[in-house]
Amino acid sequence: MSINSIVDSPLTWLVAGVALGLGLGVTTASAWLLVLALVAFALNLKRHNPLTRREGWIVAAGPAVMMGWVLGFMIRGIAFG
């Protein structure tokens, strides 16, 4: 498995989002790190040719990091709230 396939996987981005939300919750630092993650997603999207068969898989990473972050801080609130 190459580094490109790991970075392009929405599951990687989902796990990163859950870790961010679970670790920091809803804080200013967490929001800024989420912004950095979305900028990294946009840069990753820009480096790809738009006409690939994995285009949907690559584009799904952005929403995955957002859903992961929300899921992470929900788990944090329920478990530690």
Q: Tell me the per-residue pLDDT of 27-75, one tens digit each, with 9 for 90 and over.
A: 999 999 999 999 999 999 898 877 777 788 889 999 999 999 999 999 9
> Quick check: 78 pLDDT over 80?
yes
| Distance separating alpha carbons of residues 17 and 65, to the nearest angstrom | 5
Q: Tell me the per-residue pLDDT of 7-23, one tens digit each, with 9 for 90 and over.
A: 989 999 999 999 999 99
Output the pLDDT for position 52: 75
| Distance separating alpha carbons of residues 17 and 11, to the nearest angstrom | 10
Across 76-80, average pLDDT: 94
